[in-house]
Amino acid sequence: EAGVAQSPRYKIIEKRQSVAFWCNPISGHATLYWYQQILGQGPKLLIQFQNNGVVDDSQLPKDRFSAERLKGVDSTLKIQPAKLEDSAVYLCASSLTDLQGTNTEAFFGQGTRLTVV
């Protein structure tokens, strides 16, 4: 079974530039998550999608971050403009929703390491 695919693996940009990350979840997984993991910290949930709808974006800095999952499959996360403190690994994860509507454990992609200079 193919895992969660993310690209690019690494990205270096200057502050105030824009960047976009792409995620393709495991086939059939209705729930997709974007996490930000700053060095030395645990992953922090930025946004959670159920199919193509947003169910939680309470920790997404909406003045500069945006995400979409237009057809309920692939997703993109964008930062515009980037700040130095956005340097982190951005992890995408997906999970199944069982018959009771409960999400199972999440499977993570390899992440994108973003460095803002």
Partner 1 sequence: EDKVVQSPLSLVVHEGDTVTLNCSYEVTNFRSLLWYKQEKKAPTFLFMLTSSGIEKKSGRLSSILDKKELFSILNITATQTGDSAVYLCAVEKAGGYQKVTFGIGTKLQVIP
Instruction: Please tell me whether residue 88 binds partner 1 under the rule CB under 8 A.
Output: no
- Give residue 116's identity as a one-letter amino acid code: V
Write down the least CB distance from residue 84 to partner 1, Å.
Answer: 21
Name which position in 5, 13, 73, 89 contacts partner 1 (CB under 8 A). Answer: 89
Both structure tokens of 8 = 């690019």
Number of residues forming the site for partner 1 (CB under 8 A): 25
Among 56, 62, 83, 117, binds partner 1 (CB under 8 A): 56
What is the C-alpha to C-alpha distance for residues 111 and 4, in angstroms, rounded to an integer?
9
Residues 26-45 touching partner 1, rule: CB under 8 A, are: 33, 35, 40-45
Q: How many CB atoms lie under 10 A from the CB of residue 32?
A: 27
Q: Which residues pair with 91 in a beta bridge?
A: 35
Distance (Å) of CA 14 to CA 21, 23, 25, 85: 16, 23, 29, 12
**Binding residues for partner 1 (CB under 8 A):** 33, 35, 40-45, 48, 50, 55-56, 89, 91, 102-111, 113
